[in-house]
Chains A and B, each alone.
Chain A
Amino acid sequence: EDQVTQSPEALRLQEGESSSLNCSYTVSGLRGLFWYRQDPGKGPEFLFTLYSAGEEKEKERLKATLTKKESFLHITAPKPEDSATYLCAVPAGTGANSKLTFGKGITLSVRP
């Protein structure tokens, strides 16, 4: 069964304190890994797609990387506005029945 596990469940950082969020997955034939950001009371916002091991994507203070078993979301010198829940997901199923399996998310709090 395809699974996505995120750790830690919650992370508290001081402003400027860099860290990484982990997403490990078990899936037959990875067809992409997606990262989302979710603010309280809002829907998840798409950040990145990674397709193959070694691939990296960057956006402002965020950099996502991918290996054959896990993905990391590196946050460099975070600011309080980076506080949010970060979700990762992988496609499961094939063709028209392809659906995303989500991890439970990592809640990041950045203190000023």
Chain B
Amino acid sequence: SQTIHQWPATLVQPVGSPLSLECTVEGTSNPNLYWYRQAAGRGLQLLFYSVGIGQISSEVPQNLSASRPQDRQFILSSKKLLLSDSGFYLCAWKSTYDSPLHFGNGTRLTVT
């Protein structure tokens, strides 16, 4: 069966520090991978998605970037965090274009 791992679960970082969140998927090959951010009262906002190694599409301009160095690995990064980067970050995968998304358990990021 397929599983998705996302870490860390919680993170507190000072403004201006770098960020690296990692997500890996097991039990499937060539998944579509996604990074979402969830803010209270604002729903799920798609940040990045990837349909293959090295292929990244950005949905909104922001202080973040994503990379996919391996087929089942997706990384969310920032060189310098802003207060507004605080939120709940979710990684997700799906196998085909219109199949359901499957989410990791998220990372709660607090920028102080």
A residues lining the B interface (CB < 8 Å)? 31-32, 34, 41-46, 49, 87, 89, 91, 94-100, 102-105
Contact = CB atoms under 8 A, between A and B. Distances in A.
Nearest to B102: A46
A76 B98 CA distance: 29
Interface residues of B, number: 24
Contacts of A32: 98
10 A-B pairs closest in CB distance: A43-B103, A104-B43, A98-B97, A102-B44, A96-B51, A46-B100, A31-B98, A91-B98, A43-B105, A43-B106
Contacts of B105: 41-43
A29 B41 CA distance: 28
B44 A43 contact: no
Interface string B73-112: 0000000000000000010100001101111111010000
Contacts of A49: 100
B65 interface: no
Nearest to B10: A41
Interface in B12-71: 32, 34, 41-44, 46, 49, 51, 57, 59
A39 to B, nearest CB: 10
Contact of A98 (B41, B92, B98, B106): B98
A105 B43 contact: yes
A69 to B, nearest CB: 19
A112 to B, nearest CB: 26
Contacts of B108: 41
Contacts of A44: 44, 90, 101, 103
Contacts of B42: 104
